[in-house]
Structure 1
């Protein structure tokens, strides 16, 4: 009987892939640094092969991160809004990676701020971004809502 893949294993696998893509490393490069085949890296990232703790340590070292990065706030991945979980979700998509890379090439701070405002407004109107995070105070939320409503005025 085949073991069912656990949710945590899938989330760790997604985070490995996201971190690899974020630093623009290929599966072949990661495999060479870890000392395994790229096919095994594919299986790790798909969640179809379980990763031992020693191998996870090797992967973290190869990606230049601490092992705990793969587990931090993992309970919020599909639950409460969490900035890190959202970052990993975004980095796990083609559009997200294009957004990261394109945004990082924009040097003008004014353009970057305007783009961020546009994205925040579009997300709010789409209903996909919560109005609060666990760290936001009522005063911060009120200031944010006032700032956004003033941007919408002609």
Structure 2
């Protein structure tokens, strides 16, 4: 059995690269590779898996309709999966108490939690704004894997 901390320990193993899945309208699964990390949810403080997703993508549309995801991370033969409800926060998914400045900082927090570094955060911020990037949080309703291999 694994927990969210096991997932978080694997982030450094491969640059926070994860496979994340969402359910399409027809019930089939859409999967993609993104960077993700573990951080406190900005509203609740609970540990969640966070990722930054470009605005206008199909996966964001799927999560708006069916807010549930599966995220798998691996480093060598060790892996962990988090399944749970999805929470979106971005220019197309606003929330009270989170203005553009708070979103800008939140996207940085997620980026660094996923192991990212940047020499020019002003450029990073501009690109995130232009691409209408959204913060995606997956709540760990179910966590499993083989963290002790």
Q: Do the two structures share a fold, i.e. TM-score over 0.5?
A: no
Please classify the TM superposition score into its range, dividing by the shorter chain length: under 0.3
Q: What's the TM-score once normalised by structure 1's chain length?
A: 0.25
More strand by share: 2
Q: What's the TM-score once normalised by structure 2's chain length?
A: 0.26
State which structure, 1 or 2, has the greater radius of gyration over its C-alpha atoms. Answer: 1
More helix by share: 1
The higher relative CO (CA closer than 8 Å, separation ≥ 6) is in: 2
